[in-house]
Amino acid sequence: MDPIYVTGHRNPDTDSIVAAMAYAALRNALGDREYEAACLGHVSDETQTVLARFGFRPPKLITSMHTQVHDLDYDAPPILSTAVTVDRAWRVLQEEKTAAVPIANEDGTLFGMLSQEDVAKYNMAQIGSSRLKSVPLFNVLSVLEGRVLNEAGENTDTIGGEVTIALPQSREELLFQNSDSIVLCGHQPDMIRRALEMNVNCLVLCQAELSEDLRQMDTATCIISTPFDAYRAARLIFQSTPIGRICRTDNLTCFHLDDRVDDVREEVLKHREPCYPILDEYDLVVGVLTRYHLLRPRRKRVVLVDHNEASQSVPGLEEAEILEIIDHHRLADIQTTNPIYVRNEPVGSTNTIIASMFQERGLLPSAGMAGMMAAAIISDTVLFKSPTCTDRDKRTAERMARIANVSLEELGRDIFSASVGHRSAEDLLFSDYKEFHIAGHDLAVAQITCVDSPRMLERKEEFLTLMRKTAKERKFDMVALMLTDVLLEGTQLLYVGDDDIIRQAFNAAPKDNILFLPQVMSRKKQVIPTLSALWG
């Protein structure tokens, strides 16, 4: 069963990452073993610090929820070698009830495709030809269910030549004009002797044995015995040809497991192949795809935590099946095809909600998980100083800290005193960056929580240059950066955009693209609603 991904928003913060991990752990503990936490972007230094402290690794990174080839119930028929006989390949095509099978090189990469049509064309071509091109002796023995009767045959590797059936009334001088022949005969001692004297390439005894005197003859002919009659043996011997010679190798259309199904459909519409080979990331053949498989693709399944806005979620979300949403933000524009479970509560952290869900189900998170959840609540409520923080957040954080046997004050120092001076402006700006679409206006608001905003302001021009570039490239009306200082209990707001909008929104006069907002700690509750009210 494919996993159900639990994922937070893009440019994930600590609350988003931990919420995904905690909810996946909760569902798996309840017996739903298919839940898997995932993240949509770079894991920040702050989050890395929290994960490392409690002994966890970052969750799996995913970049798309688009339906891909590996989401399809494609066929996985046997992948044949180029050396396999036509006879064996035909049986595989019939047993698997498939129109074509992939042919692979020794290293597993694609060599070609063999279809029923290819086999039919080969067999029809043999009607007008009696010559068998040189094939391995083992191939001939396989299709004829034969055995070698003499030493010369044991030393033969390949056989080929004109295939001739020696009928009782046949004239020897017409049958054996040269030694480049494969002669099929029954109990016909004179014919057998003549063939051995001429050293034909191969003598096939059909339902017959070799007499002792003929066995003693000095000959270079490979002698084979088969239980089939001459007519059937003559047809079967052409089925010993390796399929590498008759399969299609040119202009093959193939797909990879990570190809989008929408793109695959467009390619399939351009061609009329019965099926198409599928390759993995190493170009190894893993299966075949037909038009039938594209009719009802299996969509990825996802649970959204700490967001419910499409622009903040994973690309391709519209192609996925959303099962649940657990969030503490405003309701946005996510749409679903079926009714789903939604839990949205006005608290300061998604982990506060998930901790309640642990309690409601009679489960206690592990000490390490509880420690991470406490850290996530501290991070998202800015050490309980954010206006989004509630008494419930505080009580939950204290309970999780007791389970983990850690100090909230110590956790807070670890989270907010981490040095950010060595990180690039781009890394800092996009570490907690969200885009919004409000009443026809597009904007982005990033936030950096720190204890040394004056030091961060030394990089003001560096930030503004990057913000102007971002606004121009993405055609945003405004890009803002909140430098939220835990010690000052306020935010230095850097912005690029209309000065009048900032002046009206916060009732203060900005100067040189910067404004200090005392007691402003929350993007969600204090900045976005203010801009929404003005633009709305």
Give the pLDDT of residue 418: 59
- What is d(CA 502, CA 145) in angstroms, rounded to the nearest whole number? 88
Q: Are 425 and 458 in contact (CB under 8 A)?
A: no
8-state DSSP, 390: -
CA gyration radius for the chain? 37
Q: Where are the extended beta strands (E) located within 151-209?
A: 158-165, 181-185, 202-206
**Cα 499 vs. chain centroid, distance in angstroms?**
46
Burial 11-50 (b: 16+ CB within 10 A, else e): bbbbbbbbbbbbbbbbbebeeeeebbbbbbbbbbbbbbeb
- Answer whether 69's CB lies under 8 Å from 288's CB: no
Question: pLDDT at position 190, please?
Answer: 85
Residues 257 and 76: beta-carbon distance below 8 Å: no
pLDDT value of residue 385: 86
Which residues lie across from 115 on neighbouring strands? 100
The DSSP result for 162-228, as a single string, is: EEEE--TT--HHHH-SSS-EEEEESS-HHHHHHHHHTT-SEEEEES----HHHHTS----EEEEESS
Helix axes 391-404, 408-416, angle to 10 degrees: 100
Check residue 169 and give its pLDDT: 58
| Whether 456 contacts 421, CB under 8 Å | no
User: CA 174, 176, 178, 180 torsion: positive or negative?
Assistant: positive
Give the angle 455-458-460 at the CA atoms, nearest 5°.
125
Contact 492, 447 (CB under 8 A): no
CA–CA separation, 366 vs 374, rounded Å? 12
Distance CA 96, CA 363 (A): 48
Give me the residue spans of the domains in the chain.
4-67+300-416, 425-535
Q: Is 382 left (phi over 0), alpha (psi -120 to 50) or beta?
A: left
Helix (H) or strand (E) holding 451: none
Cα–Cα distance list, 32 to 37, 190, 222, 496, 528 (Å): 13, 78, 65, 47, 37
User: Helix 367-380 crosses helix 350-360 at what angle (to 10 degrees)?
Assistant: 150
Instruction: Give the CA dihedral 205, 208, 209, 215, nearest 10 degrees.
Output: -40
Specify which residues 343 forms β-bridges with: 326
Q: How many whole angstroms separate alpha carbon 480 and alpha carbon 493?
A: 7
Per-residue model confidence as pLDDT tens for the chain (536 residues) = 689 999 999 989 999 999 999 999 999 999 888 999 999 998 988 899 999 999 999 999 999 899 999 989 899 999 999 999 999 999 999 999 998 999 999 999 999 999 999 999 999 988 878 899 999 999 999 999 999 998 888 899 999 999 988 876 555 554 555 678 899 999 888 888 888 888 899 999 999 888 887 888 888 899 999 999 999 999 999 999 999 999 999 999 999 999 999 999 999 998 888 899 999 999 999 999 999 889 888 889 999 999 999 888 999 999 999 999 999 998 888 888 889 999 999 999 999 999 999 999 999 999 999 999 999 999 999 889 888 899 999 999 999 999 999 999 889 888 876 546 577 889 889 888 999 988 889 999 999 988 778 888 999 999 999 999 999 999 999 999 999 988 888 999 999 999 999 999 999 999 999 999 999 999 988 999 998 888 86
pLDDT digits 0-9 by tens, 19-54: 999 999 999 999 888 999 999 998 988 899 999 999
The count of residues in the chain is: 536
Longest Cα–Cα distance of the chain, Å, equals: 117
Of 533, 536, 531, 525, the residue nearest 330 (C-alpha):
525
Which residue(s) pair with 260 in the sheet?
68
Please report, in angstroms and rounded to a whole number, the separation of the first and last CA atoms in the chain: 45
Give the pLDDT score at 174.
46
Enumerate the β-bridge partners of residue 279. 256, 285
Nearest to 148 by CA among 223, 84, 204: 223
Give the DSSP per-residue string, 358-380.
HHHTT----HHHHHHHHHHHHHH
DSSP letter for each residue of 462-487: HHHHHHHHHHHHHT-SEEEEEEEETT
CATH code of 425-535, in short, is 3.10.310.20
For the chain, counts of helices (H) and of strands (E): 20, 23
Task: Please report the pLDDT score of residue 451 as a whole number.
Answer: 78
User: Pseudo-torsion of CA 261, 280, 314, 297, nearest 10°?
Assistant: 30
pLDDT (0 to 100) of residue 178: 63
- Whether 150 contacts 170, CB under 8 Å: no
Tell me, rounded to whole angstroms, the distance of Cα 92 from its chain centroid: 29
Sign of CA dihedral 326, 331, 334, 335: positive
In terms of phi and psi (left: phi > 0; alpha: psi -120 to 50; beta: otherwise), the region of 54 is alpha
CATH number of 4-67+300-416: 3.90.1640.10
Distance between CA 286 and CA 77 in Å, rounded?
A: 9
How much is the pTM?
0.66
